[in-house]
């Protein structure tokens, strides 16, 4: 990877970027990580996930989770950007056009030479962000977009293959980019593990069995449009 590249990682939730791209972020200081769903609900509530994370309510949860994210990205020398959208558990999912507008402003502000986006596996928030990123890709044709496999959902049998098939039907080609193979040095592995450890509330919710699978290899897919005649074959 070129040393002068400016990376922008788009993350649905406050931990997704480090879970899925932590080694890459560790290898590229000053990476900007834009997290989409960081706002509490308009009125306070209590959800099962927030309870499992150790919080009394959503307001407490989002304050603590934003702080955890800033701590984690600080350990990786990354720059956090928090967009104030509400995730699906708060029953206020944004319109995809609103996401496209906000993400487009982030791209304009950061001027990345490479954008990392979620492949969009399983979780409705991840699918929504991926859809917005695909639309964004059409506005920034000169900027490469690469999709990362969403951890932990990539472990679900067949979910990656099903998503790649769906993208192909919609006219998107996905090729593994060898240029993003990150030589995971011991130092970078330690940095990623330390960053993951700062997401204390989320590790609590995952539980010990799921935690063991969170630190896994990172896989990326180069995305591009194909001609209609090719995608319909």
Whole-angstrom distance between the N-terminal and C-terminal Cα of the chain? 33
Domain locations along the chain: 7-208+216-231
Contact between 112 and 143 under an 8 Å Cβ cutoff? The reply is: yes
CA atoms within 13 A on the CB side of 226: 17
Q: What is the pTM of this model?
A: 0.90
Domain 7-208+216-231 of CATH type 3.40.605.10: no
Characterize the bridge pairing of strands 114-118 and 145-148. parallel
Backbone dihedral angles phi then psi of residue 200, each to the nearest 5 degrees: -60, -40
Q: Say how far apart CA 34 and CA 9 lie, in whole Å.
A: 6
pLDDT, position 178 = 54
Burial readout 15-49 (b: 16 or more C-beta within 10 A, e: otherwise): bbbbbbbbbbbbbbeebbbbbbbbbbbeeeeebee
pLDDT tens over the chain, length 233 residues:
555 789 999 999 999 999 999 999 999 999 999 999 999 999 999 999 999 999 999 999 999 999 999 999 999 999 999 999 999 999 888 999 999 999 999 999 999 999 999 999 999 999 999 999 999 998 988 899 999 999 999 988 999 999 999 999 988 888 876 556 666 789 999 999 999 999 999 999 988 877 777 887 889 998 888 765 554 44
Contact between 111 and 7 under an 8 Å Cβ cutoff? The reply is: no
């Amino acid at each position: 990877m070129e040393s002068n590249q400016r990376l922008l990682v788009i993350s649905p939730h406050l931990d997704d970027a480090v879970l899925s791209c932590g080694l890459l972020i560790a290898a590229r200081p000053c990476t900007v990580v834009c997290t989409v769903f960081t706002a509490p609900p308009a009125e306070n509530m209590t959800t099962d996930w927030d309870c499992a994370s150790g919080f009394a309510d959503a307001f407490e949860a989002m304050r603590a989770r934003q702080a955890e994210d800033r701590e984690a990205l600080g350990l990786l020398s990354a720059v956090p950007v928090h967009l104030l959208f509400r995730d699906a558990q708060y029953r206020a999912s944004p319109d995809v056009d609103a996401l496209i507008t906000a993400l487009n402003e982030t791209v304009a502000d950061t001027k990345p030479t490479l954008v990392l986006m979620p492949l969009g596996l399983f979780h409705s928030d991840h699918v929504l962000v991926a859809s917005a990123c695909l639309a964004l890709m059409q506005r920034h044709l000169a900027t490469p977009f690469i999709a990362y496999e969403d951890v932990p959902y990539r472990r679900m049998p067949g979910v990656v293959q099903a998503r790649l098939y769906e993208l192909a039907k919609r006219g998107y080609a996905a090729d593994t980019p060898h240029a993003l193979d990150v030589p995971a040095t011991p130092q970078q592995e330690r940095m990623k593990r330390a960053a993951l450890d700062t997401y204390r509330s989320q590790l609590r919710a995952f539980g010990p069995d799921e935690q063991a699978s969170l630190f896994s290899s990172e896989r990326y897919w180069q995305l591009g449009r194909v001609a209609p005649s090719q995608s319909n074959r």
